[in-house]
Amino acid sequence: MNKAQLVEAIADKVGGRQAAGDAVDAVLDAIVRAVVGGDRVSVTGFGSFEKVDRPARYARNPQTGERVRVKKTSVPRFRAGQGFKDLVSGAKKLPRGGEVSVKKAPKGSLSGGPSTTARTTTKKAAAKKATAKTAAAKKTTAKKTTAKKTTAAKKTTAKKTTAKKATAKKAAAKKAPAKKATAKKAPAKRATRKRAAAR
């Protein structure tokens, strides 16, 4: 049975081929992601999936008999549950037409065993801490940028006001000497008039 046949087999129970395909994809994806992350996926009565590390070793090439070094690797492993083993070996009979009743999961096992829940809670706590840190970092950077903007705006307005004051002072300074010059010129004219009158 391949994946398409599996989808076809459960389509009537799930409510259509599309829903069955989505269900199969979701289950397989969840199992693969958990095993890759190092978790053990255990379905009571069916079996368990886990990641196993194999150390580096020497092996023989079966064609040449040559000794070959094999690198350290990780592989997935499936171990059948007791209910599954009993049905395959014939110790228990497979029911006709209905669902296979492997052992029902005990209470609390659907949420994961103690080790799985501990791992998930620690992962969730770490994720929450990381999001809190990133949020705090974002807030501080936002505060810094707003503070920089306000200080820059204050500096530019201060520069503008000082520039205006300086230009006003320059204009006043230019006007004042001109008045003094005219005042100085007036007595000189009077003196020349007095001299002319005396002649």
Instruction: Report if residue 146 sits inside a domain.
Output: no
Q: Locate 146 and state its tokens.
A: 């707003």
What's the average model confidence in pLDDT over 49-58? 95
Instruction: Report if residue 86 sits inside a domain.
Output: yes
* Residue located via tokens 């010129």: 185
Instruction: Report if residue 54 sits inside a domain.
Output: yes
User: Do both 12 and 51 map to the same domain?
Assistant: no
User: Do both 19 and 8 map to the same domain?
Assistant: yes
Q: What average pLDDT is seen over the chain?
A: 74
Instruction: Report if residue 70 sits inside a domain.
Output: yes
Q: How sure is the predictor about 187, in pLDDT bands with cuts at 50, 70 and 90?
A: low
**How far is the CA of 84 from the CAs of 10, 22, 34, 100, 111, in angstroms?**
19, 25, 22, 9, 22
What's the average model confidence in pLDDT over 177-186? 48
Tell me the backbone φ, ψ of residue 112, rounded to 5 degrees. Answer: 100, 150
Quick one: pLDDT at residue 93?
Answer: 86
What's the average model confidence in pLDDT over 145-154? 58
**How far is the CA of 165 from the CAs of 156, 169, 173, in angstroms?**
14, 6, 12
Distance CA 178, CA 157 (A): 32
Instruction: Report if residue 61 sits inside a domain.
Output: yes
User: Do both 23 and 55 map to the same domain?
Assistant: no
What's the average model confidence in pLDDT over 59-85? 94
User: Do both 28 and 64 map to the same domain?
Assistant: no
Sorted by sequence, the CB contacts under 8 Å of residue 76 that are 6+ apart come out as 35, 49, 50, 51, 52
Q: How sure is the predictor about 117, in pLDDT bands with cuts at 50, 70 and 90?
A: very low
pTM of the model: 0.48
Instruction: Report if residue 191 sits inside a domain.
Output: no
User: Do both 33 and 68 map to the same domain?
Assistant: no
Instruction: Report if residue 49 sits inside a domain.
Output: yes
Q: Return the beta strands (E) in the chain as ranges.
A: 41-43, 47-54, 57-60, 67-70, 73-80
Instruction: Report if residue 16 sits inside a domain.
Output: yes
What's the average model confidence in pLDDT over 135-155? 58
User: Do both 35 and 54 map to the same domain?
Assistant: no
User: Do both 35 and 46 map to the same domain?
Assistant: no
Q: State the DSSP string of 91-158.
A: SSPPPSSS---PPPPPTTSTT--HHHHHHHHHHHHHHHHHHHHHHHHHHHHHHHHHHHHHHHHHHHHH
User: Do both 52 and 88 map to the same domain?
Assistant: yes
- Among 17-31, 32-46, 78-92, 172-186, which stretch is predicted with the lowest mean pLDDT? 172-186
- Among 37-46, 74-83, 118-127, which stretch is predicted with the lowest mean pLDDT? 118-127
Question: Would the pLDDT of 58 be above 80?
Answer: yes
- Integer-rounded Cα radius of gyration of the chain: 45
What's the average model confidence in pLDDT over 60-64? 94
Distance CA 163, CA 169 (A): 10
* Domain ranges, residue 13: 1-39
Quick one: pLDDT at residue 97?
Answer: 66
Domain count, the chain: 2
Q: Locate 57 and state its tokens.
A: 């070793």
Nearest Cα neighbor of 100 from 89, 87, 85, 90 is: 87
Quick one: pLDDT at residue 96?
Answer: 75
